[in-house]
Chain A
Amino acid sequence: MLNISENLESSMKKIILSIAAISLSLAALAQAKKPTIMVVPSDVYCISNSYSQQFVANGVEQTLPDYKKMMQNDRNMRLAITKLAAIMADRGFPLKDLEQELKNLEQEAAEVAALQGKEGGEIVESPIDKLKRTAKADIILDLDFNIQKRGPQNYVTFNLRGLDAYTAKQIAGAAGAGSPSTSAAPELLLEEAVISYIDEFNGRLQTFFDDMFKNGREVKLQLKRFGSAAFDFEEEFDYNGETMMFGDIIDAWLEKNCVQGRFNRVDGSSNMIKYEQVRIPMFKESSSGRQTAIDARIFANDLRSLLRKPPFSVDCKVYQRGLGEAWVVVGEK
Chain B
Amino acid sequence: MKPCMKRFLLILLSTLVVAGADAQSRKERKILFGSSYNYEVAVLGVGQDGTKVFKVWGYAKKVDDAIVQAKKNGVAACIFRGIPGGNGAAPTPAICREPNAEETHADYFDAFFATGGKYLKYVNLTTDAIPSGQDRLKVKGGYKVGVAMQILYDNLRKDLEADGIARRLDAGF
Contacts and interface: CB of A to CB of B under 8 A. Distances in A.
Nearest to B97: A206
A179 B92 CA distance: 17
Contacts of B169: 91-93, 202, 205-206, 209
Contact of A174 (B90, B167, B168, B172): B90
Given A32-B172, A179-B88, A200 B46 contact: no
A34 B173 contact: yes
A178 B88 contact: yes
A197 B46 CA distance: 10
Contacts of A33: 173
Nearest to A177: B88
Given A192-B46, A195-B46, A200-B93, A92 B173 contact: yes
A203 B172 CA distance: 16
Given A92-B168, A192-B46, A206-B167, A200 B173 contact: no
Contacts of B87: 179
Interface in B15-46: 45-46
Interface string B138-173: 000000000000000110000000000001111111
B91 interface: yes
A90 B97 contact: no
Contacts of A179: 45-46, 87-88
A218 B79 CA distance: 30
B167 A199 contact: no
Contacts of B90: 174, 176, 196-197, 199-200
A31 B46 CA distance: 36
Given A90-B154, A178-B46, A206-B97, A196 B172 contact: no
Contacts of B154: 90
Contacts of A202: 169
B50 to A, nearest CB: 8
A202 B45 CA distance: 19
Contact of A31 (B89, B97, B167, B172): B172
Nearest to A93: B170
Contacts, number: 63
B168 A195 contact: no
A197 B91 CA distance: 8
B159 to A, nearest CB: 14
Interface in A198-253: 199-200, 202-203, 205-206, 209-210, 213
A133 to B, nearest CB: 26
Q: Give the interface centre of B45, B90, B91, B92 by most chain A CB atoms within 10 Å.
A: B90
Contacts of A34: 170, 173
A176 B167 CA distance: 27
Given A200-B90, A200-B92, A195 B49 contact: yes
Interface string B43-58: 0011111000000000
Interface in A129-187: 174, 176, 178-179
Contacts of B167: 206, 210
Contacts of A195: 46-49
B91 to A, nearest CB: 6
Contacts of A213: 172
A200 B154 CA distance: 13
5 contacts: A31-B172, A195-B49, A196-B88, A199-B153, A200-B93
Interface of A: 31-35, 90-93, 174, 176, 178-179, 192, 195-197, 199-200, 202-203, 205-206, 209-210, 213, 282
Shortest 8 CB-CB contacts between residues of A and residues of B = A179-B88, A92-B170, A203-B93, A34-B173, A91-B169, A199-B92, A196-B46, A200-B90
Interface of B: 45-49, 85, 87-93, 97, 153-154, 167-173
